[in-house]
C-alpha cells in the first residue's frame, strides 16, 4: 500500500497545478492520475551531475520530495563510465505525450521503455492495469519497477526484453508509446497495432536530429506528422549493443568561412534534421574547449572514415565564422545546404514534416507524403 506519509500529496497537487498553468495538462483524467501517483516511491534516488562531471546520488524522500515532483528530468541510472543510461522523463513532456496519445477507456497500451515505472503507473490509473503492458531491456529496472508498482497496488504486465521486437504475445494494442529514441520505427510495432491505432515515438536520424512523431496505422503503412514541440529521449538500448570506435582525424586541414550558425543541433533543430538526412552516419557532434577556462570555442562534426570539421563559435562583424575541415567526406556543406533549403521553404516548423513507414522503407516528407525529402530502406 501507499506510504502513510502524506506530505507527497501536496507536492503532487502542486505539480498538477504547475502543469495546468503551463498549458501542458488539459485532461482531468491525467490530472487525477498525477495527483494520485506517489512518484517518489518509484524514484527513491536520483543522480545530479556535479561541476567536475561526477554524479551525486540524491534521495527523493523528505527534502528530496521537491525535486521528484518538479519538472526536472531525473537521471536514475549511471554506468561505470559516468554516462547516464536511464532517466525518468520530465513530467511536462510525459503528460504532453500522454495527451497526444489520445487514449480512451478500454484501450490496450504498449510502452517501450519501462524505466522507473512512473509512466506505466499513470497509464494504470487511467486505463486499469490489465490494459497496460510495458517492457525494458534492463532486467534490473523492470524488477525494481514491478516491486514498487506492486507496493502501491498497480500491477501492469511488465517484461525484460528488447523493445525492437515489441511484445507480440499480448498484441494487438490500440496505442504504442516509446520513451526512448529510435533511428527507424520497427515494422514489428506496426504489426502489433490495431488498424487505426496510433504510435508515438521519438525518431532520430542522427545525434539529436529528429522529434516525436505520431503515426497512424493504415493497412499497408504507418503515417503521420512530427509534433509541434521538440523533445528528445535516450537512444533505445539492445542486448547486443557494442561501442563504436572512432578513427583519428584524416586528411589535410583546409579553411574557409561560413555564414550558417555553428551549432544547429542547439539553435536550429529543423535545420539539423535536414542536414542529418544527408550527412553520413554514424555521426558525432561536439565542441572544442578553451584549454584554460574550459568554455566551448568551436563546434565539431566527425565520422568514422576520419572526416571532420570545426566551426568557430565566434562570429566576425559580417556574421561569418571560420571553418576548418579535413578527410575524404565533406561534412559542413550538408549543413549549409539544409539551412538554405529551410529558408527556401519559408522556414517550416515541425508540424509540416511527416513520416511514412512501410515494411521495407521509411520516408521523411514535407507538407505531403508525395513531397519526399529522404527515403531509406530497412536493413
What is the rounded CA–CA span in Å between residue 143 and residue 278? Answer: 41
pLDDT of residue 24: 96
What is the rounded CA–CA span in Å between residue 48 and residue 64? Answer: 12
Q: Which residues are catalytic?
A: 88
Is 3.40.50.10490 the CATH number for 7-226? no
What is the rounded CA–CA span in Å between residue 26 and residue 5? Answer: 28
Residue 113 contacts residue 122 (beta carbons within 8 Å): no
Is the predicted pLDDT of residue 192 greater than 80, yes or no?
A: yes
What is the rounded CA–CA span in Å between residue 186 and residue 191? Answer: 9
What is the rounded CA–CA span in Å between residue 176 and residue 266? Answer: 29
Which has the minimum average pLDDT: 2-6, 13-17, 124-128, 329-333? 2-6
The mean pLDDT of 374-378, rounded to a whole number, is 90
The mean pLDDT of 177-183, rounded to a whole number, is 93
pLDDT tens readout for residues 268-313: 999 999 999 999 989 999 898 888 888 899 999 999 999 999 999 9
What is the rounded CA–CA span in Å between residue 223 and residue 355? Answer: 6
pLDDT tens readout for residues 336-373: 999 999 999 999 999 999 999 999 999 999 999 999 99
Q: pTM for the complete prediction?
A: 0.89
Is the predicted pLDDT of residue 63 greater than 70, yes or no?
A: no
pLDDT of residue 247: 54
- 3 band by pLDDT with thresholds 50, 70 and 90: very low
pLDDT tens readout for residues 149-172: 999 999 999 999 999 999 999 999
- H/E stretch holding 72 reads none
Amino acid at each position: 500500500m501507499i506510504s502513510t506519509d502524506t506530505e507527497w500529496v501536496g507536492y503532487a497537487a502542486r505539480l498538477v497545478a504547475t502543469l495546468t498553468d503551463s498549458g501542458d495538462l488539459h485532461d482531468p483524467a491525467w490530472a487525477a492520475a498525477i495527483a494520485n501517483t506517489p512518484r517518489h516511491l518509484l524514484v527513491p534516488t536520483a543522480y545530479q551531475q556535479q561541476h567536475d562531471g561526477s554524479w551525486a546520488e540524491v534521495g527523493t524522500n523528505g527534502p528530496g520530495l521537491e525535486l521528484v515532483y518538479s519538472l526536472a528530468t531525473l537521471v536514475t541510472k549511471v554506468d561505470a563510465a559516468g554516462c547516464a543510461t536511464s532517466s525518468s522523463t520530465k513530467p511536462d513532456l510525459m503528460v504532453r505525450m500522454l495527451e497526444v496519445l489520445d487514449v480512451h477507456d478500454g484501450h490496450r497500451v504498449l510502452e517501450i521503455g519501462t524505466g522507473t515505472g512512473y509512466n506505466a503507473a499513470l497509464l494504470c490509473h487511467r486505463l486499469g492495469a490489465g490494459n497496460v503492458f510495458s517492457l525494458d531491456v534492463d532486467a534490473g529496472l523492470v524488477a525494481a519497477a514491478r516491486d514498487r508498482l506492486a507496493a502501491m497496488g498497480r500491477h501492469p504486465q511488465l517484461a525484460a526484453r528488447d523493445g525492437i521486437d515489441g511484445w507480440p504475445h499480448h498484441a494487438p494494442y490500440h496505442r504504442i508509446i516509446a520513451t526512448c529514441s529510435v533511428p527507424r520505427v520497427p515494422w514489428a510495432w506496426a504489426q502489433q497495432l490495431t488498424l487505426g491505432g496510433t504510435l508515438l515515438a521519438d525518431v532520430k536520424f542522427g545525434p539529436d536530429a529528429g522529434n516525436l512523431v505520431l503515426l497512424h496505422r493504415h493497412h499497408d503503412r504507418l503515417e503521420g506528422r512530427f509534433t509541434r514541440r521538440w523533445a528528445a529521449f535516450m537512444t533505445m538500448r539492445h542486448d547486443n549493443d557494442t561501442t563504436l570506435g572512432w578513427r583519428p582525424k584524416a586528411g589535410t586541414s583546409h579553411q574557409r568561412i561560413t555564414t550558417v550558425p555553428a551549432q544547429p543541433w542547439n539553435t536550429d533543430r529543423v535545420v539539423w534534421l535536414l542536414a542529418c538526412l544527408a550527412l553520413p552516419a554514424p555521426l558525432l557532434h561536439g565542441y572544442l574547449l578553451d584549454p584554460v577556462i574550459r568554455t566551448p570555442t568551436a563546434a565539431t562534426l566527425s565520422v568514422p572514415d576520419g572526416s571532420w570539421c570545426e566551426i568557430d563559435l565566434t562570429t566576425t562583424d559580417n556574421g561569418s565564422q571560420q571553418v576548418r575541415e579535413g578527410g575524404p567526406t565533406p561534412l559542413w556543406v550538408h549543413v549549409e545546404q539544409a539551412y538554405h533549403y529551410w529558408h527556401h521553404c519559408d522556414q517550416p516548423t515541425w508540424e509540416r514534416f511527416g513520416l511514412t513507414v512501410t515494411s521495407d522503407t521509411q520516408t521523411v516528407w514535407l507538407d505531403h507524403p508525395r513531397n519526399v525529402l529522404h527515403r531509406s530502406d530497412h536493413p
